[in-house]
Chains A and B, each alone.
Chain A
């Protein structure tokens, strides 16, 4: 699939000498949802701002739909919708007028039918005539999305879309994102909620200290880097791991009622069969067995901390 956003050797340094982006290269394919994960100050928002034209790059090139964001900025920006992290809205304006204003900024003529469709998609139809200041935080965030969709962009940037949004609304938001993906919109989201990336992203990019550490298909990433854990629950609690099992890298649960074994699911031999035999030979009686894949959060923390430790 062709890259709809191509970032090549992008560097952004500020006057004080701080480098927010350090030689970043990233291709985003059309129609995918990519999540940018990274700790605070990693460079996520700077990357989005630079692609969208808000921040001027120090060096490097960005193409959106094949258009350079500097030399052919009109064509490039026409394809982009941006939902910022902060709720930046004119408080006294009415919802419909605010969305209409955004469409006009992108050079498109008045199209109330499209505005109505966008408002309906975001459950804002009954708020269309309300002043923005009267809306709840979640509704305001929807207005931001409606504004970003007003000119029918092919690429949508969502900067922390779930920040300050309750669980129910967050799930609604994910549904909106899923619907947009079905319509062919490419979505790039930054998030602190790993659960969010895990739930809706196709690919994950991990960024830290202005550098992309990894870009990978989410499923493959979790398969490749995720450790699996086998939890062997026992009928009787143990005080310590039996001597005969000392050669296995086992942990004893704090209550002594389970043995915990980490293994690599991609390995030719996981050792589970031999371990279970050894447990039986040790005279332990099993109550239950559970396996668990490590979460994206654990992978993310491992990656970022691993990099910090190496530095």
Chain B
């Protein structure tokens, strides 16, 4: 395995992240603070608890997931799309690297960035609310798996996209609505039965539910199902990437 190549891609991508360190760190802190002001204080003050959890604390896992999913997706998609856009992809394609090494470099860097931002949001949230962590290992595992799986999805989007509009299309029109409708700011048990059933078709529900369980030991769906869902999602993304590199779809002519 060409580990030097993996490390080079990873370092190169992380350097891009740290070139815009203010935007990378300040932006999630500001938006998280805004969510707490709006949902935690303004609206949250009218809601006492949700399933026995203070509303301010209840929304933290959903907020972290919202940022982690969008950041992992956008960082990975931009990471691989930008070389396509400016033409430097030739270097990757003519280097002695295989699909696994390229994917590890880009997806690893995007997942790291998302993990970093998720951690910053958790630390910021701690300033506003008391945040117990019932299952710390599971919390870290869920966070890392989500970073990885959505970075894989972003990588696919980056390869698929042929312009900047397409690059934004899936995160904007699919991921963000799914996260908002996936129980980020409410428990799905609060929905009428019909909508509950529909919600179970939203894969993000399982991620948020599992992540919330790691904090509060309460979940909308069984933890095993959450883990299975995220594992399956990761597997599907990896299979698609393997197929892309095998066929050269939208990469090699």
Which A residues are closer than 8 A to B by beta carbons?
14, 49, 52-56, 73-75, 77-78, 80, 82, 84, 86, 88-93, 97, 100-109, 147
New contact pairs (13) apart from A54-B94, A56-B248, A90-B83, CB-CB < 8 Å: A56-B253, A82-B94, A88-B87, A90-B86, A92-B16, A92-B19, A100-B8, A101-B11, A105-B8, A105-B97, A106-B95, A106-B96, A107-B5
Shortest A93–chain B CB gap in Å is 8
Q: In the complex the two chains form, is B252's CB within 8 Å of A56's CB?
A: yes
CA distance A106 to B91 in the complex (A): 10
Q: In the complex the two chains form, is B86's CB within 8 Å of A88's CB?
A: yes
Chain A CB within 8 A of B239 CB: no
With contacts A49-B253, A78-B96, A80-B94 known, is A104 near B87, CB below 8 A? no
With contacts A77-B95, A104-B4, A105-B9 known, is A84 near B90, CB below 8 A? yes
Interface residues on B, range: 20 to 34
* Mask: chain B, 136-165; 1 = CB below 8 Å from A; 0 = not: 000000000000000000000000000000
Q: In the complex the two chains form, is A54's CB within 8 Å of B93's CB?
A: yes
Chain B residues with Cβ below 8 Å from A80 are 94
- 18 residue pairs of the A-B complex, CB under 8 angstroms, read A52-B90, A54-B90, A54-B93, A55-B252, A55-B253, A56-B248, A73-B96, A77-B94, A82-B90, A84-B90, A88-B88, A90-B82, A90-B83, A92-B16, A101-B11, A101-B12, A105-B9, A105-B95
CA distance A266 to B80 in the complex (A): 58
Shortest B203–chain A CB gap in Å is 34
Q: In the complex the two chains form, is B87's CB within 8 Å of A105's CB?
A: no
- B91 touches which one: A73, A74, A107, A147 (CB < 8 A)? A147
Task: Write the chain B residue with the least CB distance to A105.
Answer: B95
CA distance A82 to B90 in the complex (A): 9
Q: In the complex the two chains form, is A84's CB within 8 Å of B252's CB?
A: no
CA distance A53 to B87 in the complex (A): 15
- The residue in B2, B9, B95 that gathers the most chain A C-beta atoms within 10 A of its C-beta is B95
CA distance A105 to B89 in the complex (A): 12
CA distance A52 to B252 in the complex (A): 12
Task: Write the chain A residue with the least CB distance to B88.
Answer: A88
Shortest B180–chain A CB gap in Å is 33
Q: In the complex the two chains form, is B88's CB within 8 Å of A90's CB?
A: yes
Q: In the complex the two chains form, is A52's CB within 8 Å of B94's CB?
A: yes
Q: In the complex the two chains form, is A53's CB within 8 Å of B2's CB?
A: no
- B96 touches which one: A49, A103, A107, A109 (CB < 8 A)? A107
Chain A residues with Cβ below 8 Å from B91 are 82, 88, 102, 105, 147
Chain A residues with Cβ below 8 Å from B248 are 56
- B7 touches which one: A88, A93, A104 (CB < 8 A)? A104
Chain A CB within 8 A of B15 CB: yes
With contacts A104-B5, A107-B2 known, is A77 near B90, CB below 8 A? no
CA distance A92 to B12 in the complex (A): 11
- A89 touches which one: B16, B86, B97 (CB < 8 A)? B86
Chain A CB within 8 A of B92 CB: yes
Chain A residues with Cβ below 8 Å from B3 are 107
B1-57 CB contacts (< 8 Å) to partner A:
2-5, 7-9, 11-12, 15-16, 19
Shortest A143–chain B CB gap in Å is 12
CA distance A101 to B253 in the complex (A): 24
Chain A residues with Cβ below 8 Å from B83 are 90
Chain A residues with Cβ below 8 Å from B9 are 105
Shortest B80–chain A CB gap in Å is 13
Task: Write the chain B residue with the least CB distance to A75.
Answer: B96
With contacts A86-B87, A109-B4 known, is A53 near B253, CB below 8 A? no
Chain A residues with Cβ below 8 Å from B16 are 92
Shortest A139–chain B CB gap in Å is 17
Chain A residues with Cβ below 8 Å from B8 are 100-101, 103-105
With contacts A14-B253, A107-B2 known, is A88 near B90, CB below 8 A? yes
Chain A residues with Cβ below 8 Å from B15 are 93, 97
Chain B residues with Cβ below 8 Å from A104 are 4-5, 7-8, 11
Task: Write the chain A residue with the least CB distance to B10.
Answer: A104
Chain A residues with Cβ below 8 Å from B86 are 88-91
CA distance A14 to B252 in the complex (A): 12
Task: Write the chain B residue with the least CB distance to A94.
Answer: B15
Task: Write the chain A residue with the least CB distance to B86.
Answer: A88
Task: Write the chain B residue with the least CB distance to A46.
Answer: B253
Q: In the complex the two chains form, is B96's CB within 8 Å of A74's CB?
A: yes
With contacts A92-B19, A101-B12, A104-B4 known, is A53 near B88, CB below 8 A? no
Chain A residues with Cβ below 8 Å from B252 are 54-56
CA distance A93 to B93 in the complex (A): 20
Q: In the complex the two chains form, is A105's CB within 8 Å of B5's CB?
A: yes
